[in-house]
Amino acid sequence: MRLRHIKGAREFLEANNEFVITDITNFDIFNVWSSSQPIHLEVGCGKGKFIIDMAKTFKDINFIAVEKYDSVLLRAVEKYLDLEDKPLNLRFILADFNDLAQKIAQHSINTLYLNFSDPWPKARQAKRRLTSPIFLNLYKNILTKDGYIIQKTDNVDLFNYSLLQYELAGFKIISKTYDLHSTNIFNITTEYEDKWSIKGPICYAKVRL
């Protein structure tokens, strides 16, 4: 699906720099959050429903939403701005995660969320999957010593690939299911999940270093 570019998206995000970061040149996560609360980060926040609802639910956690497309992040920020009671424990970052990961302090992130990432189904695309060894090494560098990755996907092939890669990379699988919505696991949904879960089950995994 082609992403529709929204004219003026970047300028809109830059104008809301109180809670949106568009330049990561001098990024320092400890300048973003001066409090000692744990930090959770979503890689590819899309239109923002999940991360906003998480921030509203867990006020004792600081949340970071990363999205590389300005036209997509615009929708998340608009959703945030529409809130009457905005959670102050949330920041949005416009960046490619590959670039941002080089700026994040070692062992500073408690939990990473991978929600419905692109499956990159062709074998030659495997290195682009967010659970490929390349990315898992990035996560191991920025996660705390007991940090978690929580993944949701509707793509069973990607899920099976991810489970194998977690084990090969030394992560411990804490819980997994091929049908999240049939369990009692705590779950805040994404926009995609609300739309597509009626067509099939959602896979879920929680892993730890």
Is there a catalytic annotation at residue 118? yes
Instruction: Please tell me which residue in 23, 96, 99, 118 is annotated as part of the active site.
Output: 118
Question: Using an 8 Å Cβ cutoff, are 80 and 55 in contact?
Answer: no
Q: Is 175 helix (H, G, I), strand (E, B) or coil?
A: strand
Spatial CA neighbour of 206 closest among 174, 178, 177, 182: 174
Element (H, E) at 98: helix 97-101
Per the structure block, which two tokens stand in for 90? Answer: 């949330």
Measured in Å, how far apart are the chain's first and last C-alpha atoms? Answer: 35
Question: Using an 8 Å Cβ cutoff, are 19 and 48 in contact?
Answer: no
Residues belonging to the active site: 118
